[in-house]
Structure 1
Amino acid sequence: MEQSTAASRPWLLLLCLAVAATGGVLQARAQLDSKGFISVDCGLPGKASYVDGGTKLSYVSDAGFIDDTAGANQNISGQYIRPQLSRRYHDVRSFPDGTRNCYTLRSLVSGRKYLVRAAFLYGDYDGLGRLPVFDLHLGVNYWQTVNVSTPGFEVTAEAIVVVPDDFVQVCLVNTGAGTPFISALELRPLKMKFYPQVNLMQGLVLDVRLNLGPADLTDIVRYPEDPHDRVWIPWADPKEWMEISTTKQVDSEYDDFEVPTAVMQTAVTPLNASMKLEITWDPVPQPHDLSPGYFIIMHFSELQLLPSNALREFDININGVRLSEAIRLVYLGVGVIFNEKPYQDGNYNISIKATANSTLPPILNALELFSIMSMTNFGTDSRDVSAMTTIKTKYHVEKNWMGDPCAPKTMAWEKLMCSYDTGIPPRIRSVNLSSSGLNGDISPSFADLKALQHLDLSNNNLTGTILDTLSQLPLLKILDLSGNQLSGSIPSGILKRIQDGSLNLRYDNNSNLCTNANSCRPAKMKSKLPIYVGAPIVIIVVIVSVALTLFCLLRRKTPGLMKNSVKPQNETRNDGDTSLGLETRRFTYNEIERITNNLQQVLGKGGFGYVYDGFLEDGTQVAVKIRSESSNQGDKEFLAEVQILTRIHHKNLVSLIGFCKDGVHMALVYEFMSEGTLQDHIEETEMQDA
């Protein structure tokens, strides 16, 4: 790194000059309320809880933070339980199944800064003696790799982040190097002025937080001494450093980091003024970041009341680069130095050395070292997450739906498809829950997935009605509800979407579903063909015979009837053929395609051709019979049938609503009847008589 004035600019020097009166003791500042703390003992059975003997904080079971079916509770081997071991390490939850298993911490404040800490102690809980290695994610972003090197050694991962939502997820990811497990999970709210390097796009991962110079090297400072429950590890080196301390209150009123008094009351200094304080370390490459950037935060306080002829003044260098001007401290005041931009080097050396004018060696009270945590991966749109969480809970979905639904891409939920546009959160565009054993009604939360294009709920046991709110999904193209037990009618909003061609609805095999709201009643038999009866068969035979006789008489008396009864095939009419007094409607083939949703659902087949289900503009259900290419009926025969069916009306015959003669396309549009076909009734009668 080059020596330059600019090199010192990223560093802030906050040397607070508030001076306590000589010999005076300041009133101890009131501790912050622990409200907002989340303390979870992972693996604690049921709804058990306890108060930690050291911190006096209440720890609860993880049952309310993770799926009931996720993982298994285990106890560590008795040989690793020692008197000083915190109770939260006595048990673990392990995750032998699934690539990703996640805890969800809720009721947070969106945009607030939080400390999140996870703790691990293997303790040979599974009796296999296999030390695992696995990844830890915070939401959809990589946090760090957990590498358990010793069965009885405690491993801690801590991150400081700004959460974008009112929840945050901690996920354990199986990388194929052993079963992930966890002992404890803690979350602590922080003040926004703390750790200014942290923002929505960048978090900090703690490497070490040191309390330098305490007399007792087993004395860890955390809550309640630190109201924010940061854990300060004691460190001293009698061979290189001398410890100094005070019992007086250090004035931290203007300390933007609010380092606890117990930490600032101790410090280290070199054995003589000519020596320097040195701290060195080599960065640990991470699988997702081989050269992580580092932030260094150093805390200072002058603990000795110096005589007038004494001076403590020192310089700070990192890798040989001087940081800021020479530093002088005020008695019992506090100061902090940290870099605003990360350093990225192969190794690091912090050197704190007295200036030529100084009569006393340098001093250092505490040090925090962090690596950068990228938070640039977007999680799924929070509205989609909320909707899918509700759907998952309602139907007790047994798929491994853990963590974020769409991100990272490699861990997206099974049966979901998402859209990934640069610069915005992913959106859910397809949900396929076909044959998933769903019961109950259709969840209203499906209508909250505003980017949804394809929804498949087929072949389940869904009951109730079709939600009209689904028609308000602007991008929905395919809605498959077939093979359920839905009832009621198809809502008007859905019908309108079908008619304008923007929605393809599949609803067959719902025996209680009726499609005409004006005449909706349970169907006795499935509708197949467009000619339906409700009277004895003999009446139909008589009527058909009369119709044929009338047709023959009309042909004899009016030879030109067939020639003039229908308009030319290239003319489009929607108002019936008034030239012959016909009140039937003439359709274009484009209208036929729109009515039948592009010939989507077949009701049956006859000699003339296939019969399709359809809907008119007003929602009336119709049956559309379209002539097939193999039909022997020609234009004359077709037009003759139109004439007969137009002129004959009977309560036991289905009514002809209209016809289509558009080029080679010929079709008949009939009234839809829900009582079944003639053949259905014959078969039903035969079965009853048998």
Structure 2
Amino acid sequence: MRYDLGSITNLEYRYKDDVYDRIWLPYESSDWRRLTTSLINDDLVQNTYKPPAIVMSTAVTPINATAPLQFHWDADDVNDQYYVYRHFNEVEELAANETRTFNMIVSADNWYGPMTPQFKVTNTLFSTKPLTGATRYQVSFSKTKNSTLPPIINAIEVYKVKDFSQLETELDDVDTITNIKNAYGVARNWQGDPCGPAKYMWEGLNCSFNGLNPPRITSLNLSSSGLTGQIHYSLSKLTMLQYLDLSNNSLNGPLPVFLNKLESLKVLNVDMNKLTGLVPPELLDRSKTDSLSLSVDDNPGLCTTESCGKKSSHVPLIASISAIIVVILLLSFGFWIFRRHKVTSRNSKKRGSLISKQQTFSYTEILNITNNFKTIVGEGGFGKVYVGVLQNHTQVAVKILSPSSMQGYKEFQSEAQLLMIVHHRNLVSLIGYCDEDEIKALVYEYMANGNLQQHLSVKNTNILTWNERLNIAVDVAHGLDYLHNGCKPPIMHRDLKPSNILLDENMHAKIADFGLSRAFGDDSDSHILTHPAGTLGYADP
């Protein structure tokens, strides 16, 4: 309960009148009369609690000047506990011969006095011990023997103690649902603990509560939530999930096979999206055995094995066309091998070879992986970076060398060769590369939470906590320590900045962009560096 006593407007007040956005409701009694004054925030000397000036500009006093001023409330349970805060401000400028002094009593062992409110100064009295053991509580204000004026009060707050003894949600589930919220920009009031207390569970979630075990997320309903992009890998980490509804959104890309990792999943609804490709056979098998209720309707580009087969009714014609296509492809492939052999020989003499144990990709495969370079996620001196998906549904980032790049082929070789020999959990991992004629591309692991610069931007609404900042700093320190002390010879990054620090789905940091890095055998080798490198205007320590 939070009451504005003596209100002349009968209005509810909160922010911007209240800097803490508390809600103040008007309250009156037939035994009281109102006292008012004109008061703004600058006129009132405030205390820590800062009740609004508009609330403190009115007060109540008993109609019968000799009677006590009383206020009461009823408890729902005799064991309920309450804390009471009473706010006072003298709203009348008293004459020299006038005084207002009174005592306050709540119960025999809870009283205070004498109290003398000050003009245009907020005074707050509160109980340090909870009130309990009664079904009705009455607060009484009685003027002292020497007081010439009756008691007043401007506002009162009564807080009831809530028992939040429930365990916090499993930490992995908290991290995962937070990643999902950030990845899709979920526009819901998702704050605090996802599952607790149960009465205040996040909208769209259901959780399991099993005795002494932490609550787990078992149901997630993001239907009609304006989701875009692909189905996020983080969903596969809600290992206790039984119900998942992603229907009526604008999700695209494939229906990922990683959803089959959700062994407890009983209902999966992705109706009315823009998904494409084949429904994973693992999910179809579970649907056929009735262990999974699978809904994939109204996705024009998505089909099951059976439905795709039904669309191919002209088998003889397709077989003939397929045979012709195979012959053409074989002839084209032979010509391509011949031409590539010549170009490769020329390039190897001109630039040297690029040997790697990582996977090599053709330019055609790069086009398929990036869906014809559909989505750009970054751009630097090297060129543009695109998001992509491998055949095994793994998300990747594909960096394409720009023909106009100032850093060019030498940077491509430098970055590729360094990433082939450097492996650490806080350094970005190279999955593969493309080196086809003039097409140069590096394929990295995908970092779901972008780069640190984006999170430090004033435009970012999801502000990093101090723990997250500290963990990121420690991760970067580990990565640099490995480069400087774990590599032989040591490697100097030479362009470390927030945009080159990438964050995965769990906000773990990894250092990226080794294109300007340099290996030094010892201090005597460093004299060969005669020009600055890295970002314009930036000098590394």
Same fold, judged at TM 0.5 (above):
no
Higher fraction of strand: 1
Instruction: Please classify the TM superposition score into its range, dividing by the shorter chain length.
Output: 0.3 to 0.5
TM normalised by structure 1 equals: 0.30
Higher fraction of helix: 2
Task: Mark the structure with the bigger radius of gyration.
Answer: 1
